[in-house]
């Protein structure tokens, strides 16, 4: 089994929450196309709010994963130069 990508792993909880928000949007819209125009404003607002709530946490998680990836790469370069 391969090592999971740390950037994707950091984003997983937020991505799951966004997918669940999309599911909720679809459920709220319902199967009746004659109701879509009436339901769209509220369902769209709820979807936007759910997605926007994930952005700060996603940015923090991705920032941490990026910092770890950069530090690991730089340390690898340092080790190669020391052993050269």
For the chain, the domains span: 7-83
d(C-alpha 28, C-alpha 78), whole Å = 54
Q: What is the pTM of this model?
A: 0.74
Task: Give the max Cα distance, the chain.
Answer: 71
pLDDT tens digits for 27-66?
A: 999 999 999 999 999 999 999 999 999 999 999 999 998 8
Q: How far apart are CA 59 and CA 49, in angstroms?
A: 16
pLDDT single digits (tens) 55-82: 999 999 999 988 998 999 999 999 999 9
Of the candidates 10, 14, 9, 43, the residue with the CA atom closest to the CA atom of residue 26:
43
């Amino acid at each position: 089994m391969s090592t999971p990508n740390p950037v994707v792993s950091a984003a997983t909880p937020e991505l799951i929450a966004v997918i669940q928000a999309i599911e909720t949007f679809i459920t709220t819209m319902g199967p009746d196309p004659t109701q879509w125009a009436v339901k769209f404003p509220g369902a769209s607002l709820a979807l936007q709010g759910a997605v926007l709530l994930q952005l700060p946490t996603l940015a923090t998680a991705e920032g941490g994963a990026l910092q770890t990836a950069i530090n690991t790469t730089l340390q690898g370069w340092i080790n190669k130069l020391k052993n050269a």
